[in-house]
Structures are given as C-alpha cells and as structure tokens.
Structure 1
Amino acid sequence: MNTAMQTPAAATSQPPATNGHANASVTTISGDSIASSINAPAAVNASSIVERAGEPRDVDADIVIPVYNEQEQLAESVLRLMSHLASSQIEGWAYTWQIVIADNASTDDTWPIASRLAAQYPDRVRAVRIAAKGRGRALKLAWGESRAKTVAYMDVDLSTDIAQTGVLIGSLLYGGADVSFGCRLFDESQVVRSAKREFISRTYNGMLRVLLGAAFHDAQCGFKAMTAPAARHLLPYVQDNEWFFDTELLLLAQATNMRMYEFPVHWIEDPGTTVNIPDTVAKDLKGMWRMNGTLNRMRLATAA
C-alpha cells in the first residue's frame, strides 16, 4: 500500500483512514514567512466577478465547479451532483452544502444555463460570472466570497467518482484535516485514461517530488477541498491563476505544516477534455521554477 502524508505529531485528530492515507510531516513555517518570500500577495479582486446569481450561504461546504464554455454538460453534471448530495448523507457524516458554478469568461450559453439553475434551485445552487479565464482565478474568487466552513472544487465532467465527495468534505469537517484531495496515482486508485496522459502525470508529479520536495503524489487531480481558515491563510499568496494553481496551493500548504489528507480515487478521463497539454506543461515548468525560489526563501526565513 502506498504511504501518503503522515499527520503532524502536533495534530490531535487524524483524517479518516479511508484506504489508509494520511499526511506527511513537514517543517513548520509561519504565514509571515510566506509573505516575506513572495514579492506581493496575489490580490483577489472581487470586481472580477461581473455578475452573480444567488448569494453565498452559511453552509458546511461550498462545492465549486469552474467552467469555461461547458453548455453541453453543465446542467446534467450539476443536477447529477445535486441529486447525489441530497440523497447520500449518512448519519455522522452529514453536512450542508451549496453548489457554486464559477463561469470564467465563457462565450457560449454557459452563463445563461448557470443562471437558470441558480434560479430554479436557490437553496442548492448559486453562480458567479468572472471576467477573465483561468481555473485558479475562478477558484480564488468563488472561494474568496464563500461563507462556508469548507470550500471544495471538482471538474465539471465529474471525472472523479462523486460518491467520494463525502470523504473529501468529511475529512475536513470530522477528520481534522486542513486540506484534502484525491490521488489518481495510488495503487488503490481505479483510473481509466490514455497512456499519454498517464505518462505526463507521473512524470510531472515525480518532478515535483524530486525538485521541490513534494510529499504528496498527485498535484493536479480536480478534486480538492480546504477548511475556510486554510483558504483564508493560503489564497492571498497563490500567484498562479491557471492550471498551476493546484500545485502551488499544495506546496504552500505543505510548507506551512497544514494537515493534508490525500486519498485514492476512482477517476475516468473525459475524452472531450479541452486542456492544451503543451501549453499547460510549459506553464507548469515555469511555475515550478518560480516555486523553487519561493520555497528556498521560505526555508531561509525559517532558519534565520
């Protein structure tokens, strides 16, 4: 069995041992060390949200679905997720929730569909329209105005089995984790995807471990969540607004000794994905170079 990260000794509670993956102990670094190691915190400019349908609610979990030109599958995915969340609550793991559609600059009918869903299900769905593209930007803005105890996100294609949403959220609400996320690279994970995507993913995550000391195994699985305090602590310092956002978030969480719970998932690749792999790889490499400098400065700040 793979060993993920061990919960720090200072923690008084452990994330649920679903398939037995807890978090790696890392060096404690204060939030001040982040600030002194990054030129300037990345501002979350609320004015970048140009339209809203519905308002944030006081719930246990805001589950954000970032979308760009997803008119074909948005409604079906939201209704499917909503039905699962409404019917799958179990005693001891129950939580209140709201689905948040974060439309980042779609040019098709994605926003009208999102608005209609929010109007039809005002207690279950809200939507925000953002002026510029970028998954990281969408998550910063949607999470930044959340009033929930935890914030999460998943891809609109629901590639990760939504039956595991309870583990994603429950490990934060009931298990003592600060950050939780799915992993497609554990032996226990059940993954269906092309050999090309598998090779790229394993190579990228291997580079993160070797070059940046990542203790986690899968930086880019689109199935992540954080507590509200963790989000408030980390988001102002995450500079990337696109696909490297996930990696940067996890590296900063690890560097600041947050309790991280990584668990195996069932995941099926969407053959219609629109990710530009060469462009994403180039930006990821640039992000890794930048984060290497940031983490080195954080270590020096801690040692001083």
Structure 2
Amino acid sequence: MVFALVRPEVDLELIFPALNEERRLPSTIAATVDHLCERPWSSAIVVVDNNSADGTHDVVERFAHAPLPVYAIGCSDRGKGAAVRRGIATSSARYVGFADADCATPIETLDPVMALLEQGHAAVIASRRAPGAYYEIEQSTLRRCGGWVFRRLARMSVPDIADTQCGFKFFDGPLIREVVGACHVDGFAFDVEILAHLARWGHRVTEVPVAWCDVPGSTFSARRDGLRSMADLIRISIAR
C-alpha cells in the first residue's frame, strides 16, 4: 500500500470512499484491478479512508504488489462527500471518478463511461433510471420510499438528471477538480451539489444505464442521515 496525496498522472483514477469496509473492499478492489489491467488506459485506484475503525487499511495493504497502483489516503472530515472531494482534489488524472466499495454497480459499466469521456463528455454517471437500466436485486420498500422523496427534492436543483445517487460517477479531471473546490456538502447529498454545479456552469451530465444490485451493509442510516440529506438538498437548491 502506498500513502500518497501527490500521485503520478494517469489516464484514469478511480476513487473508493471507505468507512469500515474491511469486508466488502477486498473483492471490489480485486475485481477492479483485474478489469483495469485489461484496458488500454493507464489507471490507478485510490482508497480514501474516512476514519475507519476496522481493518480497512490492512485490506489495502494486500494490494501492495498489484499490477497497477493502489493508493490509500486519509480524510479526517467525516462524510462520504468529504472523502470523495479529498480524492478528487488530490488527483492529477485526466479522468477521475468514484465508485462504492460494495460494487453495486458492475465495474464493466466503466467501459461505456470511458468511451463517452474520451468523446468529450464532461461528466458521465451510472443511472438506475436511464432507458435500459434495471435492478438485479431490488432495494427494500423503506429505501425505495426514501429514494422517492430524495429524488423529488433533488429535482429542484438538477431537474434533467433521472438518478443523482447511483454511486458510480466519472468526470473530466481538470473540470471536476475546479468544481469540487466550490462544494461543501459532506453528507450523502454531495452528489447533487456536484451535479448542480456542473449544470449551472453549463456542462451536460450524461447518464448511462446500469444493472444495479442492492448490497447489504450501506453506511447510510435513514434515521441519522435522512433529515440532514433533505436539509442539504434544500440548501443546494437555493444556492443558485
């Protein structure tokens, strides 16, 4: 494992924000390494440890001799948004993005995403609501209801984006590094803030369909994070 805030430039850097992910992270990193090694782009993986209390760091050490760089950096500010911004802000890659440690979005989705980025698209995100997308494993009824409310509020800021919350988003590197410098939401509404800034700056966000699986073990808590996320969405919508 290499701890590195300053990293060599590559074509693609893939960020995994991680909070207590020692169980789910190993298979996700392994699958990602295997996939990236078969692609023509130069690539690196960055795990942003968001103050984990388990063996997340030990997991990353297993990939010290992987055929492509697997870096680890820390983020003392709690929240997935803070961790993602930390990874993006310290990147020098041509393209940079993030994925969830649970691998709910198949890593193969990266192929059409990269094709679009290389064609000049500024932001390409996986979508569970784009034409052709489907759920291989559905969410619980409670999560679906909460998602409906979240989407209604998110549309106040990004009315043209069908799915703001699928955890698989990739961007033009120089552009997104500028965007995250203007973002402040640390919690689970951070995606909406990033997408809203892109839209306000005149950049189109492209959605690609995904075969998505609901994977147990999410760190999102409806009781702890739900009201905060809703409040963040309202703040984002009025910060025009």
3-state DSSP of counterpart to 1:106: coil
Residue 55 and residue 76 in structure 1: after superposition, are their counterparts in 2 closer, same or farther (change >3 A)? farther
Residues 152-191 of structure 1 correspond to what in structure 2 (within 5 A)? Answer: 152-172=97-117, 174-191=118-135
CA contact (8 A) 1:185 1:202 kept: no
After superposition, the C-alpha distances for 1:2-28 in whole angstroms (9 at most, x for unaligned) are xxxxxxxxxxxxxxxxxxxxxxxxxxx
Structure 1: how far apart are the matches of 2:189 and 2:128? 17
Q: How far did 1:161 drift? A: 1.3
Partner of 2:73: 128
Partner of 2:87: 142
Corresponding pairs, count:
237
Partner of 1:68: 19
CA contact (8 A) 1:58 1:148 kept: yes
Structure 1: which 5+ residue stretches go unaligned? 1-50, 296-304
Structure 1: how far apart are the matches of 2:130 and 2:103? 19
Structure 1: how far apart are the matches of 2:158 and 2:19? 32
Partner of 1:273: 218
3-state DSSP of counterpart to 2:73: strand
One-letter amino acid of the structure 2 residue matched with residue 215 of structure 1? D
Structure 2: how far apart are the matches of 1:97 and 1:213? 30
One-letter amino acid of the structure 1 residue matched with residue 232 of structure 2? G
Structure 2: how far apart are the matches of 1:189 and 1:67? 26
Structure 1: how far apart are the matches of 2:159 and 2:188? 17
1:227 aligned onto 2:178: no
3-state DSSP of counterpart to 2:239: helix
Residues 15-30 of structure 1 correspond to what in structure 2 (within 5 A)? Answer: none
Q: TM-score, normalised by structure 1?
A: 0.73
Residues 221-300 of structure 1 correspond to what in structure 2 (within 5 A)? Answer: 221-295=166-240
Q: How far did 1:55 drift? A: 5.3
Partner of 1:105: 51
Structure 2: how far apart are the matches of 1:182 and 1:275? 19
Structure 2: how far apart are the matches of 1:277 and 1:158? 21
Structure 2: how far apart are the matches of 1:197 and 1:126? 32
After superposition, the C-alpha distances for 1:19-53 in whole angstroms (9 at most, x for unaligned) are xxxxxxxxxxxxxxxxxxxxxxxxxxxxxxxx925
CA contact (8 A) 1:64 1:99 kept: yes
Larger Rg: 1
One-letter amino acid of the structure 1 residue matched with residue 54 of structure 2? D
Structure 1: how far apart are the matches of 2:13 and 2:158? 30
Q: How far did 1:213 drift? A: 5.0
3-state DSSP of counterpart to 2:71: strand
Residue 53 and residue 207 in structure 1: after superposition, are their counterparts in 2 closer, same or farther (change >3 A)? closer
User: Deviating runs (4+, > 3 A) in structure 1?
Assistant: none
Residue 196 and residue 128 in structure 1: after superposition, are their counterparts in 2 closer, same or farther (change >3 A)? same
* Superposition RMSD in Å: 1.9
1:215 aligned onto 2:148: no
Residues 29-40 of structure 1 correspond to what in structure 2 (within 5 A)? Answer: none
Structure 2: how far apart are the matches of 1:195 and 1:185? 17
Residue 208 and residue 129 in structure 1: after superposition, are their counterparts in 2 closer, same or farther (change >3 A)? closer
Structure 1: how far apart are the matches of 2:13 and 2:103? 16
Q: How far did 1:266 drift? A: 0.9
One-letter amino acid of the structure 1 residue matched with residue 90 of structure 2? E
Structure 2: how far apart are the matches of 1:74 and 1:84? 15
Q: How far did 1:217 drift? A: 0.9
Structure 1: how far apart are the matches of 2:134 and 2:234? 31
Structure 1: how far apart are the matches of 2:129 and 2:204? 20
Residue 185 and residue 202 in structure 1: after superposition, are their counterparts in 2 closer, same or farther (change >3 A)? farther
Residue 288 and residue 54 in structure 1: after superposition, are their counterparts in 2 closer, same or farther (change >3 A)? closer
Percent identical residues: 24
CA contact (8 A) 1:176 1:259 kept: no
